[in-house]
Amino acid sequence: MTSMDEEALVHRIARGDRAAFDELYRRTSPWLAVRLRRRCADDELVAEVMQETYLAIWRAAASFSGASVGGSAVGWVWTIAARRLVDALRRRAREGRLPLATLAAPDAPAAEDEALEALLGAELDSAVRLLSPDLRAVLQAMVLDGLTVRETAVLLGVPEGTVKTRARRARIALRRALS
């Protein structure tokens, strides 16, 4: 089981293999939990979203087989989770209680800068660092998390027009920083 990649695990889950499902959970739930907790301050909501995500994977594994397209091994798991998070936030927004993530505090220096720069690219690194937290949050939601403008608006709790304005400003700022 440990030698299988996630693709093979999903294939087995589709056939009702509980052990494969548990293994997929073991491998991906810490990653998913950490990532979700960074976007939503409400742990109960995060638990709800995670439960819905894995339940969806269990139910529809046969249609997710072969879903790791675009070079991302578990990106599709994130896509499911992100959309569930947006749906849950919409429900809470309607009820008037919106648990937003606290934005990352600005820039304390750390020792592993160089190693991480290699992962992202030095120029992009510093360009992203220079963005204000508002703009960064929009860019992260749209580019990294793959959300649409409307979904980003729900996630961040701001109007759609604001999201678009910030995205445009972020792109301009990045372009300027990279040129």
Partner 1 sequence: MVRAVSAAETAARTYGWAIHAEALRVRAGRRMAVDGLDLSLDTGVHGLLGPNGAGKTTLVRSIATVLRPASGTLTVLGETVNGRIDLRGLRRQIGYLPQEFGFYRRFTVREFVEYIAWLKEMPPAETPGAVQRAIERVGLADRADDRMKTLSGGMARRAGIAQAIVNDPRLLLLDEPTAGLDPDQRLQFRALLRELGTDTCVLVATHLVEDVAAACTDLVLIDAGRLVFQGVPADLPAAAGEDSGSGDSAAERGYSAILRRHREAQP
Partner 2 sequence: MNDEKHVPAAALRRYATGDPRSRADQVWAVEAHLELCARCRERLGEAVTFHSPETAALVAQVQTRLATEVIRSPQMPTYRMPRRVSRWAPPGFWARLVMTLLVLGAAIGLDLAGSSGLPPSVVLLVAPVAPLLGVAAVWSAGLDPLHELVVASPRAGLFLVLRRTLAVLAAVIPALAVAGWMTGASPATWLLPCLAFTAGALALGELIGLRWAAAALAIMWTVGVITPSVLTARAPWVLEPTSLPYWAGLIGVIAVALALRRDAYKELRSDSWFVR
Residues that bind partner 1 (CB under 8 A): 52, 56, 59-60, 63-64, 67, 69-70, 72, 75-76, 78-80, 83-84, 87, 90-91, 93-94, 142-146, 148-150, 153-154, 160-161, 164-165, 167-168, 171
Among 19, 43, 93, 178, binds partner 2 (CB under 8 A): 43
Which CA distances in Å does 103 have to 10, 24, 34, 44, 89? Answer: 34, 30, 15, 19, 17
CA angle 74, 76, 81 (to 5 degrees): 100
Cα–Cα distance measured from residue 53 to residue 48, given in angstroms and rounded to the nearest whole number: 9
Q: Classify 147 as helix, strand or coil.
A: coil
Say whether residue 10 binds partner 2 (CB under 8 A). no
Of the listed pieces 68-76, 86-94, 154-162, 167-175, which binds partner 2 according to CB under 8 A? 68-76
- Helices 43-59 and 75-95: crossing angle in degrees, nearest 10, is 130
Q: Is the CB of residue 13 less than 8 Å from the CB of residue 57?
A: yes
Say whether residue 123 binds partner 2 (CB under 8 A). no
| Residue ranges that bind partner 2, judged by CB under 8 A | 5-6, 14-16, 18, 21, 25-31, 33-35, 37-38, 43, 46-47, 50-51, 54-55, 58-63, 71-75, 78, 102, 104-113, 115-120, 124-126, 128-129, 131, 133, 136, 140, 144
